[in-house]
Structure 1
């Protein structure tokens, strides 16, 4: 069992002793405690820790200020936050930490329970394992354009498919195409390992074309099995600046004798068009050609209600940040209910991303969300593996 070095920042004497005891009882930790943020920064500048657990409400330097300071360290530890304040305060502070590049492994509402410390151990185990697995890999931003072009030409960068299931009958009713790089040396790479490089190399059009081609091929195979499955594909919004994009996409689909109605393009929030007119023109033309159109990651970042009601979307995808933990957070559950109600009134199919537990599925069923995708259903799988899932789908999964 790994032994983790933990630094705890807590200004209450009773909590000092209580936290020391609960970590000791859990086992696998070497614990040091300090009273304030300044002392924590001093320790962190001279020693290496695996985890920093800090209260948010502290005098002089509060927990959020401490987060901002440790983000500037060369090798910051993993972070866990605790507070007696609202759960929303924890979530907001965690978002600040994540946006600063810190790895958050726990959000704890006081009083701290023993099972939450056990969960911290498990999350640290996963975090350390990810670091070990990634050791020795080429760092992000280092893939040459020539390497990426070769990977695209050889179809090393593949379309894998994450199924979408109906929350009414449990059947697979669609899928999302997600990029995976089957690297000949490094193994299967996730999008975070190469998508930024694709963007920097200005190869997003080529990647989109490849994902569409592989999707059309997969759909043809599934249709022969009796499953004409709709598939959604991510489309970086700034590509709508290209006046020929929609025509080229339609030409590619028709050349495969496929139906545009079985393809939905998900507009991502990571970018925007230079001119709003390009956005609306591109979105409307996609719909005029028969393609579906989804607002991706709604509830994250800067999703606009005006944008939602003024764009001819057919689908509303609820971001995983609102789905994860919704069964334990009344505020999140209320937000989900509001979004699904809005989607229904606008005539949109609502899709919840990132469901991982039975209790989260229960919330999504209760609020009448239409579709769900997430690890509890299935991760993204290769084309043939999804075909195998479609063959057994008629039996109806027990979890739904």
Structure 2
């Protein structure tokens, strides 16, 4: 078992004793406690800690101010927050930390329980393994020629995460997600190479590669008797390219495919230089028959005006609103509002990131149309999705 150094910031004497006892019972921790944020920052400047656990309601320097100071450290520890205040306050403070680039290991409502401390240890185990994996990767940015070769050789592949209907449990679509089957490093997830693709200005090459692979996969599934629509991520800033829509349509037509079977998900990670390019590209995609999805709705800068002024066909609900909705009435209420809005606008609502039966139950209750997530299936190669389609069979199979 790994042993982690933890610094706890708490101003109540009873909590000092209580937290020491709980961490000792959980095992795997060396714990130090301080009374305020200023002292915590002094300790962090002199020593390395794996985790900082801080109360939000603190005198002089509150927990949010401590988060802001923590983000300025060269090597900040992972962060966990605890409070007796509302869950919304806890979630909001967690977003402050995440947006500042901190690794948030846990958000805990007081009283702190041993099971939650064990979850913190498991999260620290995960972060440690991620750091080891990252350290084994080649340093620096891969050469553009290396990325081009990976695209040309078919190492960067489209894998497919199925979407299931929450009405009858059948697979009704899929999302194409990029995976790099690297000959030396093994399977790489998008976070390991998408930034390099963007920096090398190869995003259009990646997009057309994923589209081409998807059209081939759809043809394979069609021969099995399954006409399966697929959604593909499209970085929004690519709509600045005036010929992008024509290029995508030409690729579909060359493959004798139907653009109505492809939905492009506009991501929030970027935007166009001119708002007119955004609306022109979105409208032209729809005019050519492609579906259009607002990705990650409920996260970041997605707005109601953007939703009603763009000809979307699909509304993707961000996983941050799905995670834990089975135990959080606030999240469940937000999901109800979004799905009702989607129905009124004539949009198919798709929930991302479902992981538990409790979350599925909420999504059914609010009448979300479709769901994707690990409880259904991770992204898989196209032949594996073909096997899932065979298992799905001709009759509805309830989740």
Instruction: Please tell me whether the aligned partners of residues 262 and 291 of structure 2 are also in contact (alpha carbons under 8 angstroms).
Output: yes
* Distance apart, 1:134 and its partner CA: 2.2
Question: What's 2:149 paired with?
Answer: 150
Residues of 1 paired with 2:19 and 2:129: CA distance?
Answer: 26
Question: What's 2:213 paired with?
Answer: 214
Mean alpha-carbon deviation: is it higher for 338-347 or for 60-69? Answer: 60-69
Residues of 2 paired with 1:20 and 1:213: CA distance?
Answer: 57
RMSD: 1.2
Aligned length: 398
Question: What's 2:90 paired with?
Answer: 90
Question: What's 1:56 paired with?
Answer: 56
1:384 aligns with 2:370: no
Deviations 1:104-135 (A, max 9, x none): 11100011122111211221222212222222
Describe the SS at the equivalent of 2:118: helix
Describe the SS at the equivalent of 2:201: coil
* Distance apart, 1:396 and its partner CA: 5.9
Describe the SS at the equivalent of 2:126: helix
TM-score by length of 2: 0.97
1:226 aligns with 2:234: no
Residues of 2 paired with 1:79 and 1:275: CA distance?
Answer: 38
Describe the SS at the equivalent of 1:264: strand
| Runs of 4+ more than 6 Å apart | none
Residues of 2 paired with 1:174 and 1:146: CA distance?
Answer: 34
Residues of 2 paired with 1:77 and 1:359: CA distance?
Answer: 32
* Distance apart, 1:397 and its partner CA: 5.7
* Distance apart, 1:310 and its partner CA: 1.1
Question: What's 2:170 paired with?
Answer: 171
1:45 aligns with 2:45: yes
Unaligned runs of 5+ in 1: none
* Distance apart, 1:217 and its partner CA: 0.6
Deviations 1:296-343 (A, max 9, x none): 000001111111111111000001111111112211111111000000
Residues of 2 paired with 1:319 and 1:31: CA distance?
Answer: 36
Residues of 2 paired with 1:397 and 1:14: CA distance?
Answer: 53
* Distance apart, 1:138 and its partner CA: 2.6
Residues of 2 paired with 1:2 and 1:46: CA distance?
Answer: 22
Mean alpha-carbon deviation: is it higher for 371-380 or for 274-283? Answer: 274-283
Instruction: Please tell me whether the aligned partners of residues 168 and 397 of structure 2 are also in contact (alpha carbons under 8 angstroms).
Output: no
Describe the SS at the equivalent of 2:42: helix
Question: What's 1:159 paired with?
Answer: 158
Residues of 2 paired with 1:164 and 1:246: CA distance?
Answer: 25
1:194 aligns with 2:207: no
Residues of 2 paired with 1:396 and 1:276: CA distance?
Answer: 43
Deviations 1:72-99 (A, max 9, x none): 2222111110011111111111111111
Unaligned runs of 5+ in 2: none
1:11-50 aligned within 5 A: 11-50=11-50
Describe the SS at the equivalent of 1:175: strand
Residues of 2 paired with 1:357 and 1:247: CA distance?
Answer: 41
Residues of 2 paired with 1:136 and 1:215: CA distance?
Answer: 32
